[in-house]
């Protein structure tokens, strides 16, 4: 009993910190609320389909259920909205490595390092990109680090849940067909992919589902973002300090290079090559 009370107190504290972190520094494409204000273990998630993707204009509802011993055990993520996807079961459960316990299971095709890790450190967040970039192309080209990415890097609190959210929305557009949860959807997706888009059955089902979600959005009084300007989270850059200026000093100085003289080119080269600088001088 004492151990169970310890788990409850520990997990509630962790969840309160994560909720506060996500409220203070939102993840673009998501809206997080509690199903019941008195229950920290059940979260309601609204996922907005990123612009310029097959999910554009979509309003997808899901639930995250946390175990008593969170963060030592992973939460469960289930879509409430009907989803046709290789990695989503008929009941809406998401099949993704990061939600699986970190055990060695050769039959799964997953490495323990790909599974849930309650001790994920800040360096993991450096690999996380905003979903508007993750879903805009299979392999995003190099680009300046965006404010939301930097904020995730600077905040260890809520990191694991942020990783889950961004992994789920990335998985929507880039399914894993190695071990599908929905075999029929996986076969249909591969036909679309291998035909380079000529076989449109998979995409047409997705678009029908997107259109169907508009009724849910209207009923819930939710305005779904449809442009990048509406979709992206507006954040303010925290003030820098002497002990943690690794990213801010480099990237945010470079974002203002367009207003500087040409003699600043040497500073620009420290972060970007000529093809990816995004400046007129390149």
Look at residue 142 in the predicted model and tell me its pLDDT: 36
Phi and psi at residue 42, in whole multiples of 5°? -130, 115
Q: At what angle do helices 183-194 and 201-220 cross, to 10 degrees?
A: 120
Residue with more model confidence, 70 or 79:
79
Among 235, 265, 267, 263, residue whose Cα is nearest residue 251: 267
Place of tokens 């997953």: 110
Torsion of CA 273, 233, 86, 210, to 10 degrees: -120
Q: What is the pLDDT of residues 144-189, one digit of tens each?
A: 333 333 333 333 444 468 888 888 888 888 898 888 999 999 999 9
Phi and psi at residue 48, in whole multiples of 5°? -100, 130
Phi and psi at residue 262, in whole multiples of 5°? -65, -20
Active site residues: 95
User: Which residues, listed in sequence order, are joined to residue 169 by a DSSP beta bridge?
Assistant: none
Look at residue 132 in the predicted model and tell me its pLDDT: 42
d(CA 182, CA 87): 6
Look at residue 104 in the predicted model and tell me its pLDDT: 56
Among 4, 1, 32, residue whose Cα is nearest residue 18: 32
CA atoms within 13 A on the CB side of 32: 25
Read out DSSP for 36-93?
A: ETTEEEEEEEEEEPPTTSTTTT-EEEEEEE--TTTTSS--EEEESS----TTB-TTSB
Lowest pLDDT segment from 10-14, 241-245, 250-254: 250-254
Strands (E), the chain: 30-36, 39-48, 59-65, 76-79
d(CA 74, CA 25): 22
The whole-model pTM stands at: 0.65
Which domains does the chain show, CATH number per domain? Answer: 2-238 (3.10.110.10), 248-274 (no CATH)
d(CA 172, CA 95): 11
Look at residue 208 in the predicted model and tell me its pLDDT: 96
């Amino acid at each position: 009993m004492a151990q169970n009370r310890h788990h409850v107190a520990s997990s509630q504290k962790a969840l309160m910190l994560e909720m506060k972190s996500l409220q203070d520094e939102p993840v673009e494409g998501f809206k997080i609320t509690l199903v019941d204000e008195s229950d920290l273990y059940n979260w309601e998630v609204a996922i907005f389909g990123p612009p310029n993707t097959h999910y554009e204009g979509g309003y997808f509802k899901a639930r995250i259920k946390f175990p008593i011993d969170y963060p030592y055990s992973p939460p469960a993520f289930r879509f409430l909205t009907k989803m046709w996807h290789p990695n989503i079961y008929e009941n809406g459960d998401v099949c993704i490595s990061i939600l699986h316990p970190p055990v060695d299971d050769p039959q799964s095709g997953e490495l323990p390092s790909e599974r849930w890790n309650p001790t994920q450190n800040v360096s993991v967040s450096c690999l996380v990109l905003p979903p508007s970039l993750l879903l805009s192309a299979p392999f995003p080209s190099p680009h300046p680090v965006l404010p939301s990415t930097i904020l995730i890097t600077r905040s260890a609190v809520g990191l694991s849940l942020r990783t889950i959210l961004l992994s789920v929305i990335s998985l929507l557009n880039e399914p894993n067909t190695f071990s599908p949860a929905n075999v029929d959807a996986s076969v249909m997706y591969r036909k679309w992919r291998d035909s380079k888009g000529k076989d449109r059955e998979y995409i047409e089902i997705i678009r029908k589902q997107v259109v169907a979600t508009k009724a849910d959005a209207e009923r819930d009084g939710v305005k779904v973002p449809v442009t990048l300007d509406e979709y992206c989270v507006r954040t303010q850059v925290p003030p820098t300090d002497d002990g943690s200026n690794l990213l801010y000093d480099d990237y945010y100085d470079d974002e203002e290079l367009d207003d500087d003289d040409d003699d600043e080119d040497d500073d620009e080269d420290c972060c970007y090559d000529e093809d990816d600088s995004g400046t007129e001088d390149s």
